[in-house]
Amino acid sequence: MPPILLIIMSIKVENKVTILSDTLKEFFGDKMNLARIKFFGLFISALCKVQTVCFEKLACGFDSNAKSESSLRRIQRFISEYSLDSDLVARFIFSLLPHEPPYRLVLDRTNWKFGTKNINILTLGIIYKGIAFPILFQIMPKFGNSSIQERIDLMDRFVRLFGSGSIECLLADREFVGDKWLEYLNKSGIEYHIRIRENFWVEIPGNGHKVKVSWLFNNLRVNECAFYHKIVRVNGELCYLSASRVINRENAPELQIIVSFNKPNNAQALYRERWQIESAFKALKTSGFNIEDTHLTDIERVSKLLSLVLIAFAWVYKAGIYLDNLRPIKIKNHGRRAKSLFKYGLTYIANLLFSNDIDKFNQCCKFLSCT
C-alpha cells in the first residue's frame, strides 16, 4: 500500500478514537485523565469489532498505531493495576438511559466456570424495550445463590447512587426470597413482585391459619390468573398474592405465584418483564461480547472488565433503539423481532468502525453523550 494511503488511514483511525474519547470526556473528563479516557474508547471500539473479551483479540482490534503486543500489555496493565470506580461507571450508564424514572428494576444472577473457578455475578438491571440495562453488579466469591445481605447491599447501593424515588418496582425470580429480604423491602418502601415456590406456607392474618400457597389457587386453569382477596403473611411479612397457571419449559402446567408489596392488579404482567435480564445476559455472553471467553478469575479484575463491557453494552443498545426507530426490525409470524435491538446496534457500530464514514461514526458516538 502506498505510504500516502497509510497516512490517510492512520488519520481516519485517529479521528475515530478522538471522536469517541471526546464524547466520553463529557462525563469522565473531570474524573480521570485523558490517557485513561482514550483507553476506554480504544477498548470499547475494539470490543464492538472483535466481539470477545479475549485480550489478544482485543489488542488486535485497537485502533492505534501501536503494535498489538503493546496494546495487549496496555490492556493487561489496566486490568491488573488501575483502580476503576464501578459506581462512576454505573452513574455514567444511568445518565445514558433512554427513558425517565421511576424505573422497573430486575434482580438476577448469572454465572460460568473457568476451570474449577466459579464466576458468579449478582446483577441489578433497569428494564427497557425487551432488555435490561445492567446498572449494578456484585461478583460473589462462591457458587450458588446470593445471600440476603448481598441483595440488600446491592439495593442499598442503588438507593445511595440514584435515590429510592427512581424505583417503580423490583422484579425477581424464586431464588430471591427470604424473611429478612422481604422485611428489608417492606421497611424500605420498595414495591416488588417476586415469584415464590408453590410449596410455600403462608399465614392468613386474623385466624392465624397456615396454608400451602398453592391451595389458594387450585382452581386456576392454564392461562388464567387470579388475585387473593386478603393480605397474607409470607415469611412473617405482610404482602399480597397473585397467580397464573402457565406452561413451563418442560411443557407442563405450573402455578406462577407472585408476592407483591401492594395490591397486585398488574403483578403478573409486570413479572413477565423479568425475562428481559436474560436477554441482557445472552447479549453479554454468546450473542454479543462473549464475556465467558475471559480467563480472569480474580474478582477485582473481572469487575473492571465487566464495567467496560457494560459501557459498550449501553452504546450498542442505544444504537439499536435509534436504528429501530429509523428502520424498524421486521416482526416475524410468531410476533418476535427478526433480530434483537442489541444485535441491530452491534452490527451497525462494528460496520462503522471498519468503514471510513466519519460523519456517521460521529453521529453514532452521540449515543454515549450524557448532555
- Taking the domains of the chain in order of start, what are their residue ranges? 3-84+309-368
Residue 324 binned pLDDT confidence (cut-offs 50, 70, 90)? very high
Each residue of 84-137: pLDDT tens digit?
999 999 999 999 998 899 999 999 999 998 877 889 999 999 999 888 999 999
Residue 11 binned pLDDT confidence (cut-offs 50, 70, 90)? very low
Is pLDDT of 8 > 60? no
Residue 83 binned pLDDT confidence (cut-offs 50, 70, 90)? very high
DSSP bridge partners of 241: 259
- Provide the pLDDT for residue 312: 97
- Provide the pLDDT for residue 334: 78
Each residue of 183-228: pLDDT tens digit?
999 999 999 999 999 999 999 987 888 999 999 999 999 999 999 9
Q: Alpha helices, DSSP H only, in the chain?
A: 3-28, 34-50, 55-61, 68-81, 86-96, 148-162, 179-188, 267-271, 276-284, 299-326, 341-354, 358-365
Report how far residue 191's alpha carbon sits from residue 182's, in angstroms, rounded to the nearest whole number. 10
Residue 13 binned pLDDT confidence (cut-offs 50, 70, 90)? low
Three-state DSSP at 203 gives strand
Report how far residue 347's alpha carbon sits from residue 343's, in angstroms, rounded to the nearest whole number. 6
Q: Which amino acid is at 253?
A: P
Confirm if 328 and 89 have CB atoms less than 8 A apart.
Answer: no
The set of cell numbers assigned to 156 is: 442499598
The set of cell numbers assigned to 246 is: 402457565
The predicted model scores a pTM of 0.92
Residue 241 binned pLDDT confidence (cut-offs 50, 70, 90)? very high
- Provide the pLDDT for residue 14: 58
